[in-house]
């Protein structure tokens, strides 16, 4: 018999796909979502939300709403959060209220209404810079960039000025919280892993890398980078790339992420653990921008390289997903180029307002771009 699962923030991009994955497994799904304007543009219940998913509209911070949403639930997948590294650095109170306090209110209600398991969405942003090694093979866990290197490049260097080599980052790497968003995601996962076991609830947290796929909020300039690039290209503008575009990233399809949440909910091996969830294939931001343009039938569109950086940005961070493979049985299955083709086909059917320039000006006015 399936469970009744509450998905907080479940009307969003990831939540809708998680709903479908759980329904396909025979679970019953209830979604709690505030349907905020920045993400949903005031459109009400998203058409992409599964018809069989029950929707409760309300704020994660409202106790009475949570009591209603939790009634009869067996497990919780906690996705509700404000998302965006850059925006978090000037909307500090909003991000801290929703992400930190919202998680606290949820856990407070679960003390009196415990569930079998809670799985919380964390983020690769908690690592700051990923793991590096120097040319002598020494590992560096706490790399902090203080502007550009002495040679004018963007890559971190060792004490002798030699470039550091990015390595796959395991879950055991010490966090380096470089933004308000990163701090909030770390608080979310630590609150979950601290409070839930004290009241007999199983729990785990998934540290998500750059999630992409059909259904992202194209008009939200703080959504995933692939959706931002797609929106720019669809509006006849080049993708905007910070620094030199050679930052290395991992991109994971939303379908693979949904599968990871379903596995974490079902697998006892997930209990009390955190897992990196990525696609397992690193690419530079420039490569990705060019690939998106090709997928959208505009291969001649070159990215606009700004040569500037944003406060809170990191240079390289790629995941070691071996723990998720071994303990969850997680395997990323979506081919990247096929995933981009799917995204491009979906974007072609949408109307997207390009607000990237507006978001950049907001950061510049506040001194958060250098």
The counts of H helices and E strands in the chain are: 13, 17
C-beta of residue 199 within 8 angstroms of C-beta of residue 280? no
Using the 8-state DSSP alphabet, how is residue 179 labeled?
A: S
C-beta of residue 238 within 8 angstroms of C-beta of residue 303? yes
N- to C-terminal Cα separation, the chain: 55
Hey, what are 22's tokens? Answer: 């759980």
Question: Of 95, 132, 181, 186, which is the active-site residue?
Answer: 181
CA separation, residue 370 to residues 34, 307, 323 (Å)? 34, 9, 37
> 3-state class of 216 per DSSP?
coil
Respond yes or no: is residue 181 known to be catalytic: yes
Residue of 229, 231, 230, 277 whose CA lies nearest to 250: 277
Exposed e or buried b per residue across 329-351, where buried means at least 16 C-beta atoms within 10 angstroms of its C-beta: ebebebebeebbebbbebbeeee
Q: Rounded to the nearest 5 degrees, what angle is found at the Cα of 351, between the Cα atoms of 306 and 18? A: 90
Q: Within a 10 A sphere around the Cβ of 274, how many other Cβ atoms?
A: 21
C-beta of residue 363 within 8 angstroms of C-beta of residue 310? yes
User: Looking up tokens 């949408």, which residue turns up?
Assistant: 350
What's the 3-state SS for 86-149? HHHCCCHHHHHHHHHHHHHHHHHHHHHCCCCEEEEEEEHHHHCCCCEECCCCCEECCCCCCCCC
Residue of 313, 284, 319 whose CA lies nearest to 128: 313
Calpha distance 289→230 (Å, rounded): 9
CA separation, residue 48 to residues 134, 164, 198, 214 (Å)? 47, 43, 37, 10
Query: Which residues form the catalytic set?
Result: 181
């Amino acid at each position: 018999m399936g469970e009744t699962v509450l998905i907080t923030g479940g009307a969003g991009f990831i939540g809708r796909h998680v709903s479908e994955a759980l329904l396909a497994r025979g679970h019953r799904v209830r979604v709690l979502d505030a349907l905020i304007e920045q993400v949903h543009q005031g459109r009400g219940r998203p058409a992409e939300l599964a018809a069989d998913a029950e929707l409760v509209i309300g704020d994660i911070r409202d106790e009475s709403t949570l009591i209603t949403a939790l009634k009869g639930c067996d497990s919780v997948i906690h996705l509700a959060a404000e998302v965006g590294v850059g925006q978090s650095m000037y909307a500090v109170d909003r991000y801290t209220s929703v992400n930190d306090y919202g998680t606290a209110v949820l856990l407070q209600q679960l003390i009196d209404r415990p569930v079998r398991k809670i799985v919380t969405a964390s983020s690769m942003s908690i690592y700051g810079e990923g793991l590096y090694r120097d040319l002598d093979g020494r590992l560096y866990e706490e790399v902090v960039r203080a502007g550009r290197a002495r040679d004018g490049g963007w890559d971190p260097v060792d004490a002798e000025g030699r470039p550091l080599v990015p390595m796959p980052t395991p879950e055991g790497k010490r966090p380096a919280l470089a933004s308000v968003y990163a701090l909030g995601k770390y608080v979310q996962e630590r609150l979950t892993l601290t409070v839930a076991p004290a009241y007999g609830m199983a729990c785990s947290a998934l540290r998500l890398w750059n999630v992409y796929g059909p259904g992202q909020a194209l008009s939200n300039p703080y959504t995933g980078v692939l959706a931002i690039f797609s929106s720019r290209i669809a509006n006849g503008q080049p993708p905007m790339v910070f620094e030199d575009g050679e930052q290395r990233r991992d991109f994971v399809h939303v379908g693979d992420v949904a599968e990871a949440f379903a596995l974490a909910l079902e697998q006892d091996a997930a209990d009390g653990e955190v897992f990196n969830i990525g696609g397992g294939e690193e690419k530079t931001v420039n490569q990705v921008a060019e690939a998106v343009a090709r997928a959208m039938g505009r291969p001649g569109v070159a990215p606009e390289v700004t040569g500037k950086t944003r406060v809170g940005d990191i240079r390289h961070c790629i995941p070691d997903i071996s723990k998720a493979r071994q303990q969850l049985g997680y395997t990323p299955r979506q081919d990247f180029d096929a995933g981009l083709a799917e995204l491009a086909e979906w974007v072609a059917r949408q109307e997207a307002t390009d607000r990237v320039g507006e978001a950049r000006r907001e950061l510049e006015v506040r001194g958060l771009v250098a």
